[in-house]
Structure 1
Amino acid sequence: MARWQIEVARMAIYMAFPVVLFHYFNLPENYEEKVIQFKREMCPPERPEPQEKIAELKRLFQERKEAELRKVFEE
């Protein structure tokens, strides 16, 4: 007798479930708390020490290259 009412309730649940999940997981508060924290864990900010070492090595190689070029041009 009430078969159509059960079907309507089931259809409402089937249609509301993805909409509710979409709404919940796209709230900015959830995004900021969970996703940004996960992003910080996976890609931590760079430390300045390795960057300074790389800059120092670049400077040393540039100085060596300039010294070699001076030597070649002086000859």
Structure 2
Amino acid sequence: MGGWHLEIGKMALYMTFPVALFHIFNQPAYFEEWVTKTKRDIYPPDSESHRKELEDAIKMIRAKQEEKQMKAFEEIENKRKH
């Protein structure tokens, strides 16, 4: 058999290898570019035209909802009068 020297060498390798890989691959420099690229893909910077389109869509939806509410109120008023 290999003896205690081999066992100590294997134990050192078993303990050092994962710790070394963790240290090497968890450096912020490796992830900084990837994180910023992914963040920009998911949350693109606001553009003025995109913001205006969203605001117009919101206004249009609110106007439709208010119109439906006004029709419902008018129907209720008409029923009360009769």
- TM-score normalised by structure 2 residue count: 0.57
**Cα distance in 2, alignment partners of residues 19 and 63 from structure 1:** 61
Change (3 A) 1:7 1:40: same
Q: 1:51 to 1:6 in 2, by over 3 A?
A: same
Runs of 4+ displaced beyond 6 Å:
none
Larger radius of gyration: 2
Deviations 1:13-70 (A, max 9, x none): 000011001111221212213x31552475251553444322112212334455663x
Which letter maps to 1:19?
Answer: V
Structure 1 unaligned spans of 5+ = none
Aligned residues: 74
Identity of aligned residues (%): 29
Identify the residue that residue 23 of structure 2 maps to in structure 1.
23
Gaps of 5+ in 2: none
Over aligned residues, Cα RMSD in angstroms? 3.4
Q: Hey, what's the Cα distance between the residues in 2 that align with 1:41 and 1:20?
A: 31
Give TM-score, length-normalised by structure 1: 0.61
